[in-house]
Structure 1
Amino acid sequence: MPDPRFFQTLSPLTVAALAEHIGGEVVRGGDVVISAVAPLSSADRGAIAFLGDRKFAAALAETKAGCVIVPSSAVDAAPADAAVIVSGEAQAAWARASALLHRPVRLDRAISAAEAAEDDTVVIEPGVILGEGVRIGRGSRIGANTVIGPGVQIGRDCLISPGVTVGFALLGDRVKLLAGARIGEAGFGAAGSKAGPVDIPQLGRVILQDGVTVGANSCIDRGAYDDTVIGENTKIDNLVMIGHNCVIGRNNLMAAHTGISGSVTSGDNCIFGGRAGVGDHITIGEGARVAAGGGVLADVPPGEIWSGYPAKPLRQFLRETVWLSKQASQKKGAKESKE
């Protein structure tokens, strides 16, 4: 179930009512009542899940979901005790169901600094807006014109610079967010449908552990359902983008213009050079390094240094670069000798 500090759960609906609204045909269980959405792996009897790819067939067979949305070819694979909705656009249908069952808590009312602060050591600069349920730990400072969304928890001795927005997030102690940082915006997710792409509601959070620093104008998206997590003492430069569902280890360093796609996992003590990019669902092993400008499209083993595009182990990249340079020189020399 999404965190109630950040998401309101709306009235439950029967499977038949959901199918009518989201576009689908009920195969069985139309009277089953559904109150939440969830992935196949974590859904319970009150939740609706979906099968969007054959590679998750095993998860479909084992799911505890009360209802599943599947293509017609997968009806027989659905658990016998689950209600079933058939749809040719299962993920888009699930996204529509999500919007019917959950709603982000909006910043409809601001609270005072006295309501949010742990004690009088908290400094709130002019123009700050604090949503309901915000809590700010001792010794923290919130910069001018910053907006802290409903339910956000900020630890002790944090420094939030001017012009920052924080929502759907839990911050540990000694966290620093530099000017213009955007924490907890919706992750990028869209499902195809006959009517065009459908936004997938993002129902997760951002968790910044103790000692994290986020540079100016950097963005960290909240999870689609699970959390985006930044490990202790990780330091993020200006203009860095971290997508939804990423789990970044402790003591990572990310230079400016690094881009981390959704659902990436990095171990502890990893380093990303400037303008490094990592594709989605990739694992970066503990102590690994991605050189500046590297484009990672495969898992990086622990302790290795990768470079180039597509990125590969540094020695391999250098050997190939030298070979290519020699080939180019030889061709140039042959051409000049003919002339």
Structure 2
Amino acid sequence: MPDARFFESLGPVALGDLATLAGAASPPPQVADRRIERAATLAGAGPGDVAFVTNRKHLAELKASKAGACFVPADLADEVPDGCVALVTRIPQGAWSQAANTLHRPIGHAGEGPAVHPSARLEDDVVVSFGAVIGAGAEIGRGTRIGPGAVIGPGVAIGRDCVIGARAVIGFALIGDRVKIYSGAAIGEAGFGATAGPGGVIDIPQLGRVILQDGVTIGANSCVDRGAWDDTVVGENTKLDNLVHIAHNVRVGRNCVMAAYTGISGSVTIGDGVAFGGRAGVADHVTIGDGAQIAAAAGLFRDVPAGETWAGVPAQPSRDWFRELAWIRKSMKQSRKGDA
């Protein structure tokens, strides 16, 4: 369920009311008063939760789900398991998004009051520079320095001996010791998720967190998005250059390095000791094995085995990429000779 440090629970809501708010068909009268407390994924849902499924590709997950209710297209209405109420709609994910916004609300900064909220807990030797704002319930460890104009959101936990740069913005995050987040970085903003709603495209609520483990460095103006539901995690001692983007639900291992302009799409899994050259881009749901190297400007669309070096667009093992380049150059030279 969403972390109560970062999200306010607005439930429970009667199932019939929730269906109406989400634009789904009304449930049978005998279950219309069932109380729904949370929005959840199929795999993580329980009897008090509502989930969604969009197509038959996820039929096995639907049949195994423990959800109390599920938004489904009409052709899956008869496939929901016993104990789960089918809420029929042509836009299951859009209906679920509206339900999630009804059941959960991100906790924001108070509009008025001191820059450091009275409920924030700061250990000894924390330095808070001019213009910094620290939200309700935040926790900051000994020896951490908060730069001018930095914003630490409600509930955020920051470990000891960290450096938070000027105008960095941190929310929905749990941060370890000796972490450096340089100027202008944004940690915990909503990841990019959109779906069809009743009147057009709507945002999908992002109900997860960011976890930065000990010794992580986040470069200036880099962004690490919070998870859509699960956490976005950056492993111990991983180093991000300036202007790097980590999307929602990404899992980055330990001791990885990413040069400037690297972009990692949602739900990518990266092993330990992986290196990315500048401007490398990775498509969503890709898995990269331990010790792999992704060359500068590579465009990666497939899984990479451990220890391999990939390059090019679309990326492939670097030996194959360079062999193709050599063949193209040779073919061009022969073509020019033939035209002469």
Same fold judged by TM-score > 0.5? Answer: yes
Q: 2:107 aligns with which of 105, 124, 136?
A: 105
Tell me the residue number matched to 2:62.
60
**Structure 1 runs of 4+ off > 2 angstroms?**
26-31, 109-120
1:184/1:221 contact within 8 Å kept? yes
Q: 2:297 aligns with which of 284, 293, 298?
A: 293
2:119/2:136 contact within 8 Å kept? no
Q: 1:137 aligns with which of 132, 135, 141?
A: 141
| Cα displacement (A) at 1:76 | 1.5
The letter for the 2-side match of 1:183 is I
Q: 2: CA distance between counterparts of 1:8 and 1:51? A: 25
Counterpart secondary structure, 1:17:
helix
Tell me the residue number matched to 2:311.
307
The letter for the 1-side match of 2:139 is R
Q: 2: CA distance between counterparts of 1:53 and 1:71? A: 7
Q: 1: CA distance between counterparts of 2:212 and 2:318? A: 31
Q: 1:161 aligns with which of 159, 165, 168?
A: 165
Distance 1:19 1:113, change over 3 A: closer
2:16/2:27 contact within 8 Å kept? no
1:172 aligns with 2:176: yes
The letter for the 1-side match of 2:319 is R
1:14 aligns with 2:14: yes
| Cα displacement (A) at 1:107 | 0.2
Counterpart secondary structure, 2:200:
coil
The 5-angstrom pairing of residues 122-133 of structure 1 reads 122-133=126-137
1:91/1:191 contact within 8 Å kept? yes
1:178/1:217 contact within 8 Å kept? yes
The letter for the 2-side match of 1:255 is A
Counterpart secondary structure, 1:256:
coil
2:172/2:226 contact within 8 Å kept? yes
1:26 aligns with 2:26: yes
Q: Which moved more, 1:28-37 or 1:95-104?
A: 28-37
Aligned length, in residue pairs: 336
Distance 1:15 1:273, change over 3 A: same
Tell me the residue number matched to 1:81.
83
2:11/2:38 contact within 8 Å kept? no
Q: 1:193 aligns with which of 194, 197, 205?
A: 197
Q: 2:240 aligns with which of 231, 236, 240?
A: 236
Q: 1:91 aligns with which of 93, 116, 119?
A: 93
Deviations 1:262-319 (A, max 9, x none): 0000000000100000000110111111000000001111110000000000111011
CA RMSD of aligned residues (A): 1.3
The 5-angstrom pairing of residues 250-269 of structure 1 reads 250-269=254-273
1:246/1:264 contact within 8 Å kept? yes
Q: 2: CA distance between counterparts of 1:44 and 1:186? A: 25
2:216/2:235 contact within 8 Å kept? yes
Counterpart secondary structure, 1:85:
strand
- TM-score of the aligned structures, taking structure 2 as reference length: 0.96
Tell me the residue number matched to 1:213.
217
The letter for the 2-side match of 1:191 is T
2:19/2:27 contact within 8 Å kept? no
1:259/1:277 contact within 8 Å kept? yes
2:38/2:48 contact within 8 Å kept? yes
Q: Which moved more, 1:308-317 or 1:115-124?
A: 115-124
- TM-score of the aligned structures, taking structure 1 as reference length: 0.97
Structure 1, gaps ≥5 residues long:
none
Tell me the residue number matched to 1:331.
335
| Cα displacement (A) at 1:113 | 7.6
Deviations 1:12-60 (A, max 9, x none): 1111111111111134432221010000000011100000232211110
Q: 1:182 aligns with which of 179, 186, 189?
A: 186
Q: 1: CA distance between counterparts of 2:163 and 2:244? A: 19
Counterpart secondary structure, 1:226:
coil
Deviations 1:187-210 (A, max 9, x none): 000012352111101000000000
Q: 1: CA distance between counterparts of 2:123 and 2:39? A: 38
Distance 1:115 1:193, change over 3 A: closer
1:26/1:84 contact within 8 Å kept? no
Counterpart secondary structure, 2:8:
strand
Q: 2: CA distance between counterparts of 1:10 and 1:193? A: 21
Q: 2: CA distance between counterparts of 1:7 and 1:199? A: 17
